C-alpha cells in the first residue's frame, strides 16, 4: 500500500505547496483513493508534481465537514466526476468557530452537497472487503480542549428550542463531531486507520476501533487536534504527555501533522520515538 500526502500545513520541498489543510492519496491492491482535499485546489497541483493522477481515483472520502478538508472537492469533481465521494449525512451542517470575538463559518461549501457523486452515509458502513468506515464515537477522555470553540449553528423558535430548518433567531451549540468518520483499509493482512483531525480524541477513536475490529491498527494516519494558538498550559502539556504514553503502549506506527501542532508533536515524539512520524506535503508512506 502507498499513501501520499497531497496537502498539509508544511511541505517537503520548495516545489510543494502547503496550506492549513489535509489531503491524502492512498493506493491499495484494488483501489486508488482520495481522502480529504485540503482547503483549496492546491492539493491537485501537488498531485501533478508528485505524479498522482486524480482522474484515476475510484473512491473519495471526506473525514468531516470542515473547509480545510473539503475545500478542494469542487476542483476534484472537475478532474474526476465518476468517483463517489463518501461523507456522513450531517457533514453539510452549519459548523462554526466561535468565541467572545469570533463567529466564523468553517463548514463546507454547500455546492459540494449538490455534486451527483456525493454519497451520504449514516454511521458505520462497509464499502467492500478492503474499505470500511465508522463514526459515532462517544468517548470523551482526553478530549481536545480546542474543540470547545467549535460549534454548530441551529435556528431557534420563539420558545428557544433548537430547529435546524426553521426561520428566525439562531444559537450555537457545542459540535458533537458526529459528522466525523474514520476510514479503515484492510490490505495484505494489515489494518490502516485514517482520520482527518481526530476531533473526538485519538484515544476515543482507537477505543471504538478496538470494539469493532478487536485489535489495534497497524498504522494510523491522523491529525490529533492538539494545536493551540495561545500557547500551552501545564495542564495541556500533561494531557499531551498522557496521550503519548498510551499511544506508546500500542504496536502501532502513527503518522501525524496538520492540526497536531509542532510543540505537541515534539513532546509526543520524545515519548513515542520511532512510533511517531510527521507527515507533510509530498511525503510518501509505503506499508
Chain segment 212-237, per-residue pLDDT in tens: 999 999 999 999 999 998 889 999 99
Give the Cβ contact number of residue 197 at 10 Å.
Answer: 27
Question: DSSP letters along 115-174, please?
Answer: -TTEEEE-S-EE-SSSEEEE------TT--GGGGGEEEEEEE-TT--EETT--S-EEEEE
**Residue 170: what pLDDT?**
87
Alpha helices by DSSP H, listed for 7-92, are: 42-50, 67-70, 73-79
Task: Quote the cell numbers at residue 208.
Answer: 471504538
Spatial contact of 184 and 213, defined as CB atoms under 8 Å apart: yes
CA angle (21, 26, 31) in 5-degree steps: 140
Spatial contact of 87 and 181, defined as CB atoms under 8 Å apart: yes
How far the first Cα of the chain sits from its last, in Å, is: 5
**Residue 206: what pLDDT?**
98
- How far apart, in whole angstroms, are the C-alpha atoms of residue 218 and residue 188? 11
- The set of residues, in sequence order, having a beta carbon less than 8 Å from that of 75 and lying 6+ positions away, is 37, 40, 41, 43, 44
**Residue 173: what pLDDT?**
95
Residues of the chain with pLDDT under 50: 158
**Residue 68: what pLDDT?**
98
**Residue 12: what pLDDT?**
86
Residue pointed to by grid coordinates 486507520: 193
**Residue 19: what pLDDT?**
98
The model's pTM is 0.95
Q: Give the total residue count for the chain.
A: 287
Strands in the chain per DSSP E: 2-7, 23-27, 32-35, 59-61, 85-88, 95-98, 103-105, 118-121, 125-126, 131-134, 150-156, 162-163, 170-174, 182-187, 190-194, 219-221, 253-256, 276-278, 284-286
- The set of residues, in sequence order, having a beta carbon less than 8 Å from that of 68 and lying 6+ positions away, is 19, 20, 21, 22, 38, 39, 106
**Residue 230: what pLDDT?**
84
CA-wise closest residue to 69 among 25, 34, 36: 36
**Residue 163: what pLDDT?**
53
Amino acid at each position: 500500500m502507498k499513501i501520499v500526502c497531497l496537502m498539509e500545513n508544511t511541505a517537503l520541498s520548495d516545489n510543494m505547496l502547503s496550506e492549513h489543510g489535509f489531503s491524502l492519496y492512498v493506493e491499495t491492491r484494488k483501489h486508488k483513493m482520495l481522502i480529504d482535499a485540503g482547503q483549496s485546489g492546491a492539493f491537485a497541483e501537488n498531485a501533478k508534481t508528485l505524479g498522482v493522477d486524480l482522474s484515476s481515483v475510484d473512491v473519495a472520502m471526506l473525514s468531516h465537514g470542515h473547509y480545510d478538508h473539503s475545500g478542494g472537492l469542487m476542483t476534484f469533481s472537475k478532474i474526476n466526476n465518476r468517483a463517489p465521494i463518501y461523507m456522513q449525512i450531517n457533514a453539510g451542517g452549519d459548523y462554526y468557530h466561535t468565541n467572545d470575538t469570533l463567529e466564523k463559518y468553517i463548514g463546507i461549501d454547500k455546492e459540494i452537497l449538490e455534486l451527483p457523486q456525493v454519497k451520504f452515509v449514516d454511521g458505520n458502513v462497509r464499502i467492500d472487503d478492503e474499505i470500511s468506515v465508522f463514526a459515532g464515537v462517544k468517548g470523551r477522555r482526553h478530549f481536545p480542549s480546542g474543540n470547545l470553540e467549535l460549534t454548530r449553528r441551529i435556528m431557534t423558535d420563539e420558545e428557544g428550542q433548537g430547529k435546524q430548518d426553521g426561520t428566525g433567531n439562531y444559537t450555537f451549540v457545542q459540535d458533537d463531531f458526529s459528522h466525523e468518520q474514520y476510514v479503515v483499509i484492510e490490505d495484505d493482512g494489515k489494518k490502516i486507520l485514517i482520520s482527518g483531525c481526530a476531533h473526538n480524541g485519538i484515544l476515543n477513536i482507537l477505543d471504538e476501533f478496538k470494539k469493532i475490529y478487536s485489535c489495534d491498527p497497524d498504522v494510523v494516519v491522523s491529525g490529533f487536534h492538539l494545536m493551540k494558538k495561545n500557547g500551552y498550559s501545564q495542564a495541556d502539556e500533561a494531557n499531551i504527555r498522557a496521550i503519548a504514553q498510551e499511544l506508546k503502549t500500542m504496536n502501532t506506527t502513527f503518522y501525524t501533522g496538520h492540526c497536531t501542532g509542532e510543540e505537541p508533536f515534539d513532546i509526543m515524539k520524545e515519548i513515542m520515538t520511532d512510533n511517531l512520524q510527521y507527515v507533510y506535503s509530498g511525503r510518501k508512506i509505503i506499508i
